[in-house]
Structure 1
Amino acid sequence: MVGSIPKIRIRGLTKSFGTKAVLQGIDLDVMEGTSFVVIGGSGSGKSVLLRCILGLITPDSGLIEIDGVNILEQPTARRDAITEQIGMLFQNGALFDSLKVWENVAFGLLAKKPGKTPMSRTAARQRANEVLEQVGLDSSVGDLSPAELSGGMQKRVGLARAIAGVPDILFFDEPTTGLDPIMGAVIDGLIVDCVKKLGSTAIAITHDMASAQRIGDQAAMLFQGKLIWQGAASTLLNSGNPWVDQFTHGRREGPIKMELRR
Protein backbone atom coordinates (compact mmCIF):
# COMPACT_ATOMS: atom_id res chain seq x y z
CA MET A 1 0.00 0.00 0.00
CA VAL A 2 1.38 3.43 -1.00
CA GLY A 3 2.47 5.40 2.03
CA SER A 4 2.44 2.44 4.39
CA ILE A 5 6.18 2.79 5.05
CA PRO A 6 8.18 6.02 5.41
CA LYS A 7 9.70 7.43 2.27
CA ILE A 8 12.83 8.03 4.38
CA ARG A 9 13.47 6.05 7.56
CA ILE A 10 16.52 6.64 9.76
CA ARG A 11 17.46 4.66 12.84
CA GLY A 12 20.42 5.00 15.21
CA LEU A 13 22.42 7.22 12.85
CA THR A 14 25.78 8.32 14.23
CA LYS A 15 28.67 10.29 12.77
CA SER A 16 31.79 11.65 14.40
CA PHE A 17 34.73 13.62 13.08
CA GLY A 18 37.68 12.78 15.27
CA THR A 19 36.55 13.29 18.86
CA LYS A 20 33.59 15.47 17.80
CA ALA A 21 30.31 13.53 17.84
CA VAL A 22 28.09 15.33 15.31
CA LEU A 23 25.16 12.90 15.06
CA GLN A 24 24.32 10.82 18.12
CA GLY A 25 21.68 8.20 17.39
CA ILE A 26 19.22 9.95 15.06
CA ASP A 27 15.79 8.31 14.58
CA LEU A 28 13.60 9.96 11.96
CA ASP A 29 10.64 9.03 9.74
CA VAL A 30 9.59 11.19 6.79
CA MET A 31 6.39 9.99 5.18
CA GLU A 32 5.77 10.14 1.44
CA GLY A 33 4.52 13.52 0.26
CA THR A 34 5.51 15.25 3.51
CA SER A 35 7.52 18.45 3.70
CA PHE A 36 9.79 18.02 6.74
CA VAL A 37 11.85 20.83 8.26
CA VAL A 38 14.89 20.36 10.50
CA ILE A 39 15.97 23.33 12.61
CA GLY A 40 18.95 23.79 14.89
CA GLY A 41 21.91 26.01 15.57
CA SER A 42 25.14 26.13 13.61
CA GLY A 43 27.12 22.95 14.14
CA SER A 44 24.11 20.97 15.36
CA GLY A 45 24.50 18.39 12.56
CA LYS A 46 21.79 19.47 10.09
CA SER A 47 23.98 19.54 6.99
CA VAL A 48 25.79 16.34 8.00
CA LEU A 49 22.41 14.59 8.26
CA LEU A 50 21.52 15.58 4.68
CA ARG A 51 24.94 14.58 3.39
CA CYS A 52 24.62 11.16 4.99
CA ILE A 53 21.28 10.58 3.25
CA LEU A 54 22.75 11.80 -0.05
CA GLY A 55 25.69 9.44 0.30
CA LEU A 56 28.25 12.24 0.36
CA ILE A 57 29.30 11.20 3.87
CA THR A 58 29.39 7.67 5.26
CA PRO A 59 27.89 7.46 8.75
CA ASP A 60 29.67 5.52 11.48
CA SER A 61 26.61 3.42 12.27
CA GLY A 62 22.87 3.27 11.79
CA LEU A 63 20.31 2.70 9.08
CA ILE A 64 19.07 4.92 6.25
CA GLU A 65 16.17 3.54 4.25
CA ILE A 66 14.61 5.06 1.14
CA ASP A 67 11.39 3.29 0.13
CA GLY A 68 12.27 0.50 2.54
CA VAL A 69 15.75 -0.12 1.09
CA ASN A 70 18.75 0.40 3.38
CA ILE A 71 21.01 2.40 1.09
CA LEU A 72 24.02 1.84 3.34
CA GLU A 73 23.98 -1.87 2.48
CA GLN A 74 23.68 -1.42 -1.29
CA PRO A 75 26.48 -1.69 -3.87
CA THR A 76 27.68 1.66 -5.15
CA ALA A 77 25.77 1.43 -8.45
CA ARG A 78 22.51 0.55 -6.70
CA ARG A 79 22.97 3.30 -4.11
CA ASP A 80 23.69 5.85 -6.84
CA ALA A 81 20.53 4.81 -8.68
CA ILE A 82 18.47 5.34 -5.52
CA THR A 83 19.97 8.71 -4.64
CA GLU A 84 19.52 9.92 -8.22
CA GLN A 85 15.87 10.43 -7.32
CA ILE A 86 16.93 13.25 -4.95
CA GLY A 87 17.01 16.88 -6.09
CA MET A 88 19.02 19.38 -4.06
CA LEU A 89 18.82 23.15 -3.61
CA PHE A 90 22.15 24.18 -2.11
CA GLN A 91 22.51 26.98 0.41
CA ASN A 92 24.46 29.35 -1.84
CA GLY A 93 23.08 28.15 -5.15
CA ALA A 94 26.31 26.29 -6.06
CA LEU A 95 25.97 27.29 -9.71
CA PHE A 96 28.85 26.66 -12.08
CA ASP A 97 30.28 30.02 -13.19
CA SER A 98 31.70 28.54 -16.41
CA LEU A 99 28.29 27.33 -17.61
CA LYS A 100 25.31 29.28 -18.87
CA VAL A 101 22.22 29.33 -16.68
CA TRP A 102 20.38 26.77 -18.80
CA GLU A 103 23.38 24.43 -18.71
CA ASN A 104 23.39 24.72 -14.90
CA VAL A 105 19.70 23.82 -14.81
CA ALA A 106 20.19 20.88 -17.18
CA PHE A 107 23.48 19.72 -15.64
CA GLY A 108 22.09 16.43 -14.32
CA LEU A 109 20.21 15.75 -17.54
CA LEU A 110 23.37 16.19 -19.63
CA ALA A 111 25.66 14.24 -17.31
CA LYS A 112 27.08 10.95 -18.51
CA LYS A 113 26.01 8.13 -16.20
CA PRO A 114 26.85 4.42 -16.39
CA GLY A 115 24.24 2.53 -18.38
CA LYS A 116 22.30 5.67 -19.33
CA THR A 117 22.26 7.87 -22.40
CA PRO A 118 22.38 11.57 -21.54
CA MET A 119 19.61 13.80 -22.84
CA SER A 120 20.39 15.66 -26.05
CA ARG A 121 21.33 19.31 -25.65
CA THR A 122 18.23 20.36 -27.59
CA ALA A 123 15.90 18.40 -25.31
CA ALA A 124 17.82 19.50 -22.21
CA ARG A 125 17.50 23.16 -23.23
CA GLN A 126 13.77 22.72 -23.72
CA ARG A 127 13.44 21.15 -20.27
CA ALA A 128 15.55 23.94 -18.75
CA ASN A 129 13.24 26.53 -20.31
CA GLU A 130 10.20 24.76 -18.84
CA VAL A 131 11.51 24.68 -15.27
CA LEU A 132 12.91 28.21 -15.45
CA GLU A 133 9.41 29.41 -16.30
CA GLN A 134 8.04 27.23 -13.50
CA VAL A 135 10.14 29.18 -10.98
CA GLY A 136 9.13 32.53 -12.43
CA LEU A 137 12.05 33.24 -14.79
CA ASP A 138 11.84 33.93 -18.51
CA SER A 139 13.52 31.31 -20.68
CA SER A 140 15.83 34.04 -22.03
CA VAL A 141 17.58 34.01 -18.63
CA GLY A 142 19.02 30.67 -19.70
CA ASP A 143 21.53 32.43 -21.97
CA LEU A 144 22.98 34.49 -19.11
CA SER A 145 25.87 33.55 -16.85
CA PRO A 146 25.25 33.05 -13.11
CA ALA A 147 27.32 36.18 -12.37
CA GLU A 148 24.71 38.27 -14.17
CA LEU A 149 21.95 37.19 -11.78
CA SER A 150 20.83 38.63 -8.45
CA GLY A 151 20.87 36.47 -5.33
CA GLY A 152 17.15 35.81 -5.60
CA MET A 153 17.44 34.82 -9.25
CA GLN A 154 20.32 32.47 -8.44
CA LYS A 155 18.14 30.77 -5.82
CA ARG A 156 15.42 30.33 -8.44
CA VAL A 157 17.90 28.82 -10.87
CA GLY A 158 19.11 26.48 -8.13
CA LEU A 159 15.51 25.43 -7.51
CA ALA A 160 14.96 24.90 -11.23
CA ARG A 161 18.00 22.62 -11.35
CA ALA A 162 16.72 20.69 -8.32
CA ILE A 163 13.38 19.92 -9.98
CA ALA A 164 14.57 19.47 -13.58
CA GLY A 165 14.85 15.70 -13.24
CA VAL A 166 11.39 15.36 -11.62
CA PRO A 167 12.79 13.90 -8.36
CA ASP A 168 10.84 11.89 -5.81
CA ILE A 169 12.73 13.61 -2.98
CA LEU A 170 13.84 17.23 -2.64
CA PHE A 171 16.39 18.62 -0.18
CA PHE A 172 16.65 22.32 0.65
CA ASP A 173 19.73 23.60 2.48
CA GLU A 174 18.95 26.99 4.07
CA PRO A 175 16.81 28.08 1.08
CA THR A 176 16.29 31.69 2.25
CA THR A 177 19.82 32.49 3.45
CA GLY A 178 21.06 35.84 2.08
CA LEU A 179 17.62 36.93 0.85
CA ASP A 180 15.49 39.82 2.08
CA PRO A 181 12.21 38.85 3.81
CA ILE A 182 10.06 39.44 0.74
CA MET A 183 12.29 37.45 -1.61
CA GLY A 184 12.56 34.76 1.07
CA ALA A 185 8.77 34.47 1.09
CA VAL A 186 8.76 34.30 -2.71
CA ILE A 187 11.29 31.45 -2.73
CA ASP A 188 9.31 29.61 -0.04
CA GLY A 189 6.16 29.96 -2.12
CA LEU A 190 7.95 28.54 -5.15
CA ILE A 191 9.26 25.63 -3.07
CA VAL A 192 5.76 24.80 -1.82
CA ASP A 193 4.33 25.01 -5.34
CA CYS A 194 7.09 22.81 -6.81
CA VAL A 195 6.79 20.18 -4.10
CA LYS A 196 3.01 20.00 -4.55
CA LYS A 197 3.23 19.86 -8.34
CA LEU A 198 5.81 17.06 -8.28
CA GLY A 199 4.21 15.22 -5.37
CA SER A 200 7.70 14.97 -3.87
CA THR A 201 8.82 14.29 -0.33
CA ALA A 202 10.92 17.19 0.97
CA ILE A 203 13.42 17.83 3.74
CA ALA A 204 14.59 21.37 4.44
CA ILE A 205 17.12 22.61 6.97
CA THR A 206 16.86 26.21 8.05
CA HIS A 207 17.44 28.85 10.72
CA ASP A 208 14.53 30.91 9.38
CA MET A 209 11.44 30.29 11.51
CA ALA A 210 9.07 32.07 9.14
CA SER A 211 10.39 29.94 6.29
CA ALA A 212 10.13 26.75 8.36
CA GLN A 213 6.45 27.37 9.02
CA ARG A 214 5.71 28.32 5.41
CA ILE A 215 7.26 25.25 3.80
CA GLY A 216 6.98 22.60 6.51
CA ASP A 217 4.28 20.11 7.42
CA GLN A 218 6.35 18.46 10.14
CA ALA A 219 9.45 19.71 11.95
CA ALA A 220 12.22 18.54 14.25
CA MET A 221 15.03 20.22 16.17
CA LEU A 222 18.61 19.02 16.35
CA PHE A 223 20.62 19.98 19.42
CA GLN A 224 24.10 18.66 20.18
CA GLY A 225 23.66 15.90 17.61
CA LYS A 226 20.32 14.63 18.91
CA LEU A 227 16.73 15.15 17.84
CA ILE A 228 15.21 16.72 20.94
CA TRP A 229 11.73 17.50 19.56
CA GLN A 230 9.43 16.57 16.69
CA GLY A 231 5.99 17.94 15.88
CA ALA A 232 3.86 19.96 13.50
CA ALA A 233 5.75 22.84 11.87
CA SER A 234 2.83 25.11 12.76
CA THR A 235 3.67 24.65 16.47
CA LEU A 236 7.33 25.67 16.23
CA LEU A 237 6.74 28.94 18.07
CA ASN A 238 4.69 27.34 20.86
CA SER A 239 6.14 23.84 21.12
CA GLY A 240 6.24 23.74 24.92
CA ASN A 241 9.85 22.49 24.71
CA PRO A 242 12.19 24.99 26.46
CA TRP A 243 15.09 24.35 24.04
CA VAL A 244 12.88 24.75 20.98
CA ASP A 245 11.12 27.81 22.43
CA GLN A 246 14.41 29.54 23.19
CA PHE A 247 15.75 28.82 19.71
CA THR A 248 12.64 29.77 17.75
CA HIS A 249 12.14 33.01 19.68
CA GLY A 250 15.85 33.92 19.70
CA ARG A 251 16.05 34.34 23.46
CA ARG A 252 19.41 34.85 25.15
CA GLU A 253 18.23 33.20 28.35
CA GLY A 254 17.31 29.53 28.49
CA PRO A 255 18.75 26.02 28.52
CA ILE A 256 20.86 26.61 25.40
CA LYS A 257 24.15 28.19 26.45
CA MET A 258 26.29 29.78 23.78
CA GLU A 259 30.00 28.99 24.00
CA LEU A 260 32.05 32.10 23.29
CA ARG A 261 35.70 31.89 22.34
CA ARG A 262 37.92 34.51 23.87
Structure 2
Amino acid sequence: MTADRDQPLQPVVEVADLGARIDKRWLLRGLDLRLEQGETLAVIGTSGGGKSLMLRHLIGLSEPDEGTVDVLGIRISHLDRVQMRQLGRRWGVLFQQGALFSALPVFDNIAFPMRELRRDGLDMPESMIADLVSLKLAAVGLDPEVGPQMPDALSGGMIKRVALARALALDPELLFLDEPTAGLDPASATDFHRLYKHLHKDMGLSGLIVTHDRATLASVADRVAVLDEGRILTVGTLDEVRHVSHPFIERFFDADTAAGVQED
Protein backbone atom coordinates (compact mmCIF):
# COMPACT_ATOMS: atom_id res chain seq x y z
CA MET A 1 0.00 0.00 0.00
CA THR A 2 1.48 3.37 -0.99
CA ALA A 3 1.25 6.49 1.13
CA ASP A 4 -1.32 9.08 0.17
CA ARG A 5 0.69 11.98 -1.24
CA ASP A 6 -2.15 14.35 -0.36
CA GLN A 7 -1.97 13.29 3.30
CA PRO A 8 -0.59 16.22 5.34
CA LEU A 9 2.79 15.58 6.93
CA GLN A 10 2.85 15.22 10.69
CA PRO A 11 4.45 18.22 12.41
CA VAL A 12 7.94 17.63 13.79
CA VAL A 13 7.10 19.55 16.97
CA GLU A 14 3.60 20.21 18.22
CA VAL A 15 2.95 22.06 21.47
CA ALA A 16 -0.60 22.47 22.75
CA ASP A 17 -1.67 24.70 25.65
CA LEU A 18 1.74 24.45 27.34
CA GLY A 19 1.87 25.86 30.84
CA ALA A 20 4.89 26.06 33.16
CA ARG A 21 5.29 27.84 36.46
CA ILE A 22 7.94 28.45 39.07
CA ASP A 23 6.46 28.55 42.55
CA LYS A 24 3.07 30.18 41.91
CA ARG A 25 4.11 32.31 38.96
CA TRP A 26 3.15 31.16 35.48
CA LEU A 27 6.04 31.81 33.07
CA LEU A 28 4.37 30.00 30.17
CA ARG A 29 0.61 29.66 29.82
CA GLY A 30 -1.54 28.56 26.88
CA LEU A 31 1.45 28.27 24.54
CA ASP A 32 0.74 26.64 21.16
CA LEU A 33 3.44 26.01 18.55
CA ARG A 34 4.02 23.83 15.47
CA LEU A 35 7.21 23.11 13.58
CA GLU A 36 6.50 21.59 10.19
CA GLN A 37 8.72 19.00 8.56
CA GLY A 38 11.65 20.50 6.70
CA GLU A 39 11.12 24.08 7.87
CA THR A 40 13.18 26.38 10.06
CA LEU A 41 11.13 28.17 12.68
CA ALA A 42 12.73 31.01 14.67
CA VAL A 43 11.33 32.05 18.05
CA ILE A 44 11.93 35.57 19.32
CA GLY A 45 10.72 37.20 22.53
CA THR A 46 11.38 39.55 25.40
CA SER A 47 14.31 39.13 27.76
CA GLY A 48 13.32 36.65 30.47
CA GLY A 49 10.09 35.97 28.59
CA GLY A 50 10.42 32.20 28.62
CA LYS A 51 12.21 31.30 25.37
CA SER A 52 14.84 29.16 27.07
CA LEU A 53 12.25 27.63 29.40
CA MET A 54 10.13 26.68 26.41
CA LEU A 55 13.16 25.05 24.80
CA ARG A 56 13.80 23.01 27.96
CA HIS A 57 10.30 21.59 27.64
CA LEU A 58 10.78 20.77 23.97
CA ILE A 59 13.90 18.70 24.64
CA GLY A 60 12.48 17.00 27.72
CA LEU A 61 14.58 18.69 30.40
CA SER A 62 11.44 20.01 32.13
CA GLU A 63 7.91 18.66 32.45
CA PRO A 64 4.98 21.01 31.82
CA ASP A 65 2.41 21.82 34.49
CA GLU A 66 -0.21 21.99 31.76
CA GLY A 67 -0.57 20.96 28.14
CA THR A 68 1.32 18.58 25.88
CA VAL A 69 4.57 18.45 23.90
CA ASP A 70 4.89 16.05 20.96
CA VAL A 71 8.28 15.74 19.26
CA LEU A 72 8.74 13.61 16.14
CA GLY A 73 5.21 12.30 16.64
CA ILE A 74 5.79 11.14 20.22
CA ARG A 75 4.35 12.66 23.41
CA ILE A 76 7.48 13.08 25.48
CA SER A 77 5.75 13.33 28.87
CA HIS A 78 4.81 9.64 28.54
CA LEU A 79 8.39 8.42 28.20
CA ASP A 80 10.66 6.87 30.79
CA ARG A 81 14.38 7.68 30.91
CA VAL A 82 15.44 4.99 28.47
CA GLN A 83 12.71 5.89 25.97
CA MET A 84 13.58 9.58 26.30
CA ARG A 85 17.25 8.87 25.67
CA GLN A 86 16.37 6.82 22.59
CA LEU A 87 14.11 9.55 21.21
CA GLY A 88 16.75 12.17 21.96
CA ARG A 89 19.10 10.48 19.51
CA ARG A 90 16.79 11.66 16.74
CA TRP A 91 17.45 15.33 17.50
CA GLY A 92 20.49 17.49 18.12
CA VAL A 93 20.83 20.51 20.39
CA LEU A 94 23.20 23.45 20.04
CA PHE A 95 23.21 25.27 23.36
CA GLN A 96 23.72 29.02 23.66
CA GLN A 97 27.40 29.03 24.63
CA GLY A 98 28.21 25.76 22.90
CA ALA A 99 28.23 23.84 26.22
CA LEU A 100 31.30 21.85 25.24
CA PHE A 101 32.87 19.70 27.94
CA SER A 102 35.80 21.89 28.99
CA ALA A 103 37.93 18.95 30.18
CA LEU A 104 37.58 17.05 26.89
CA PRO A 105 39.30 17.82 23.57
CA VAL A 106 37.24 18.55 20.48
CA PHE A 107 37.44 14.94 19.27
CA ASP A 108 36.00 13.54 22.50
CA ASN A 109 33.29 16.20 22.65
CA ILE A 110 32.00 15.12 19.24
CA ALA A 111 32.51 11.41 20.00
CA PHE A 112 30.59 11.67 23.28
CA PRO A 113 27.07 11.01 21.84
CA MET A 114 28.42 8.05 19.87
CA ARG A 115 30.02 6.50 22.95
CA GLU A 116 26.80 7.09 24.89
CA LEU A 117 25.14 4.52 22.62
CA ARG A 118 26.92 1.88 24.71
CA ARG A 119 24.53 2.61 27.57
CA ASP A 120 21.88 0.79 25.55
CA GLY A 121 24.17 -1.96 24.30
CA LEU A 122 24.89 -0.36 20.92
CA ASP A 123 28.66 -0.67 20.90
CA MET A 124 30.40 1.38 18.20
CA PRO A 125 34.07 0.54 17.54
CA GLU A 126 36.53 3.34 18.19
CA SER A 127 37.79 3.09 14.62
CA MET A 128 34.29 3.86 13.35
CA ILE A 129 33.91 6.71 15.85
CA ALA A 130 37.19 8.22 14.62
CA ASP A 131 35.96 8.13 11.02
CA LEU A 132 32.60 9.65 11.96
CA VAL A 133 34.18 12.43 14.02
CA SER A 134 36.31 13.36 11.01
CA LEU A 135 33.20 13.42 8.84
CA LYS A 136 31.32 15.64 11.30
CA LEU A 137 34.27 18.04 11.54
CA ALA A 138 34.38 18.23 7.76
CA ALA A 139 30.62 18.83 7.62
CA VAL A 140 31.03 21.99 9.71
CA GLY A 141 34.11 23.16 7.84
CA LEU A 142 36.83 22.11 10.29
CA ASP A 143 39.96 20.03 9.68
CA PRO A 144 40.67 16.79 11.61
CA GLU A 145 43.69 18.56 13.13
CA VAL A 146 41.25 20.47 15.35
CA GLY A 147 40.38 17.20 17.12
CA PRO A 148 43.12 17.27 19.81
CA GLN A 149 42.53 20.94 20.71
CA MET A 150 40.84 21.89 23.97
CA PRO A 151 37.73 24.11 23.91
CA ASP A 152 39.47 27.00 25.67
CA ALA A 153 41.89 27.26 22.72
CA LEU A 154 39.09 27.83 20.21
CA SER A 155 37.58 31.05 18.90
CA GLY A 156 33.90 31.74 19.42
CA GLY A 157 33.10 30.78 15.86
CA MET A 158 35.00 27.50 16.13
CA ILE A 159 33.23 26.64 19.40
CA LYS A 160 29.88 27.04 17.63
CA ARG A 161 31.04 24.80 14.78
CA VAL A 162 32.32 22.10 17.14
CA ALA A 163 29.07 22.28 19.13
CA LEU A 164 27.15 21.94 15.87
CA ALA A 165 29.28 18.94 14.86
CA ARG A 166 28.41 17.31 18.19
CA ALA A 167 24.72 18.09 17.66
CA LEU A 168 24.97 16.33 14.28
CA ALA A 169 26.90 13.34 15.66
CA LEU A 170 24.00 10.87 15.37
CA ASP A 171 22.56 12.23 12.10
CA PRO A 172 19.45 13.81 13.66
CA GLU A 173 16.21 14.65 11.89
CA LEU A 174 15.70 17.78 13.97
CA LEU A 175 17.94 20.52 15.36
CA PHE A 176 17.22 22.79 18.31
CA LEU A 177 19.47 25.87 18.37
CA ASP A 178 19.57 28.29 21.31
CA GLU A 179 21.00 31.68 20.29
CA PRO A 180 23.42 30.11 17.78
CA THR A 181 25.05 33.42 16.77
CA ALA A 182 25.28 34.96 20.26
CA GLY A 183 28.78 36.32 20.84
CA LEU A 184 29.83 36.06 17.21
CA ASP A 185 31.04 38.99 15.13
CA PRO A 186 28.96 39.76 12.00
CA ALA A 187 31.30 37.89 9.65
CA SER A 188 31.29 34.76 11.83
CA ALA A 189 27.52 34.96 12.17
CA THR A 190 27.16 35.15 8.39
CA ASP A 191 29.43 32.10 8.04
CA PHE A 192 27.26 30.23 10.52
CA HIS A 193 24.09 31.12 8.59
CA ARG A 194 25.64 29.78 5.37
CA LEU A 195 26.72 26.60 7.14
CA TYR A 196 23.29 26.04 8.66
CA LYS A 197 21.51 26.55 5.34
CA HIS A 198 23.86 24.09 3.63
CA LEU A 199 23.35 21.43 6.31
CA HIS A 200 19.60 22.04 6.41
CA LYS A 201 19.35 21.35 2.70
CA ASP A 202 21.92 18.58 2.52
CA MET A 203 20.59 16.59 5.51
CA GLY A 204 16.90 17.40 5.13
CA LEU A 205 16.77 18.83 8.64
CA SER A 206 13.95 20.58 10.44
CA GLY A 207 15.14 23.35 12.75
CA LEU A 208 13.82 25.37 15.68
CA ILE A 209 15.98 28.38 16.55
CA VAL A 210 15.63 30.57 19.63
CA THR A 211 17.25 33.89 18.75
CA HIS A 212 17.30 37.64 19.20
CA ASP A 213 19.36 38.21 16.04
CA ARG A 214 17.46 39.87 13.19
CA ALA A 215 20.09 38.69 10.69
CA THR A 216 19.35 35.08 11.65
CA LEU A 217 15.65 35.65 10.96
CA ALA A 218 16.37 37.13 7.55
CA SER A 219 18.96 34.51 6.60
CA VAL A 220 17.54 31.16 7.68
CA ALA A 221 13.98 31.38 9.05
CA ASP A 222 11.00 30.18 7.01
CA ARG A 223 8.66 31.43 9.72
CA VAL A 224 9.00 33.50 12.88
CA ALA A 225 7.10 33.01 16.15
CA VAL A 226 6.88 35.75 18.77
CA LEU A 227 6.77 34.66 22.42
CA ASP A 228 5.32 37.30 24.74
CA GLU A 229 3.70 37.10 28.16
CA GLY A 230 4.13 33.34 28.25
CA ARG A 231 2.40 32.47 24.98
CA ILE A 232 2.94 32.67 21.24
CA LEU A 233 1.60 36.03 20.16
CA THR A 234 1.89 35.53 16.41
CA VAL A 235 3.52 33.26 13.82
CA GLY A 236 4.22 34.04 10.19
CA THR A 237 6.84 34.94 7.64
CA LEU A 238 9.35 37.59 8.64
CA ASP A 239 7.53 40.18 6.58
CA GLU A 240 4.17 39.27 8.12
CA VAL A 241 5.46 39.34 11.69
CA ARG A 242 7.38 42.59 11.42
CA HIS A 243 4.17 44.41 10.45
CA VAL A 244 2.18 43.19 13.47
CA SER A 245 1.25 46.08 15.75
CA HIS A 246 2.68 45.17 19.15
CA PRO A 247 5.12 47.05 21.44
CA PHE A 248 7.78 44.32 21.56
CA ILE A 249 7.65 43.65 17.81
CA GLU A 250 7.90 47.34 17.03
CA ARG A 251 10.92 47.73 19.34
CA PHE A 252 12.57 44.57 18.02
CA PHE A 253 12.44 45.66 14.40
CA ASP A 254 13.17 49.34 14.96
CA ALA A 255 16.60 49.99 13.45
CA ASP A 256 17.64 52.33 16.25
CA THR A 257 16.60 50.13 19.19
CA ALA A 258 16.94 46.55 17.95
CA ALA A 259 20.58 46.44 18.98
CA GLY A 260 19.43 46.80 22.58
CA VAL A 261 17.16 43.76 22.49
CA GLN A 262 18.58 41.22 24.95
CA GLU A 263 18.71 37.46 24.84
CA ASP A 264 17.34 35.11 27.52
**TM-score over 0.5 for the alignment?**
yes
Q: Deviations over 1:53-80 (max 9, x none)?
A: 1111111111111233212123332233
Q: Which has the higher relative contact order, 1 or 2, with Cα contacts under 8 A spaced 6 or more apart?
A: 2
Alpha-carbon distance between aligned partners in 2 of 1:97 and 1:32, rounded to the nearest angstrom: 34
Q: Deviations over 1:52-109 (max 9, x none)?
A: 1111111111111123321212333223322221101111111112111111111100
Instruction: Indicate whether 1:81 and 2:95 are aligned.
Output: no
Runs of 5+ unmatched residues, structure 2: none
Alpha-carbon distance between aligned partners in 1 of 2:94 and 2:191, rounded to the nearest angstrom: 15
Alpha-carbon distance between aligned partners in 2 of 1:233 and 1:127, rounded to the nearest angstrom: 37
CA contact (8 A) 1:110 1:120 kept: no
Cα 1:251–1:225 shift into 2, 3 Å: farther
Instruction: Indicate whether 1:149 and 2:147 are aligned.
Output: no
- Correspondence for 2:136: 131
- Within the candidate set 49, 56, 60, 1:51 is matched to 56
Cα 1:206–1:212 shift into 2, 3 Å: same
Q: Deviations over 1:123-164 (max 9, x none)?
A: 112111111111111111111111111111111101111112
The 5 A counterparts of 1:138-217 are: 138-217=143-222
- Correspondence for 1:255: none
Give the drift of 1:7.
1.2
- Within the candidate set 37, 47, 65, 2:70 is matched to 65
- In the alignment, residue 231 of structure 1 is paired with which amino acid? G
CA contact (8 A) 1:31 1:201 kept: yes
- Correspondence for 1:249: 254
Compute the TM-score of the two structures, normalised by the length of structure 2: 0.89
- Correspondence for 1:39: 44
Alpha-carbon distance between aligned partners in 2 of 1:66 and 1:244, rounded to the nearest angstrom: 28
CA contact (8 A) 1:35 1:217 kept: yes
- Correspondence for 1:222: 227
CA contact (8 A) 2:46 2:248 kept: no
Q: Deviations over 1:30-69 (max 9, x none)?
A: 1111111000122111111111111111111111112332
Runs of 5+ unmatched residues, structure 1: 253-257
Cα 1:136–1:10 shift into 2, 3 Å: same
Cα 1:116–1:192 shift into 2, 3 Å: farther
Alpha-carbon distance between aligned partners in 2 of 1:184 and 1:113, rounded to the nearest angstrom: 35
CA contact (8 A) 2:235 2:241 kept: no
Alpha-carbon distance between aligned partners in 2 of 1:3 and 1:80, rounded to the nearest angstrom: 28
Give the drift of 1:25.
1.1
Cα 1:52–1:81 shift into 2, 3 Å: same
CA contact (8 A) 2:117 2:124 kept: no
Alpha-carbon distance between aligned partners in 1 of 2:68 and 2:93, rounded to the nearest angstrom: 21
- In the alignment, residue 191 of structure 1 is paired with which amino acid? Y
Q: Could you list the runs of 4 or more consecutive aligned residues of structure 1 that deviate by over 6 angstroms after TM superposition? A: none
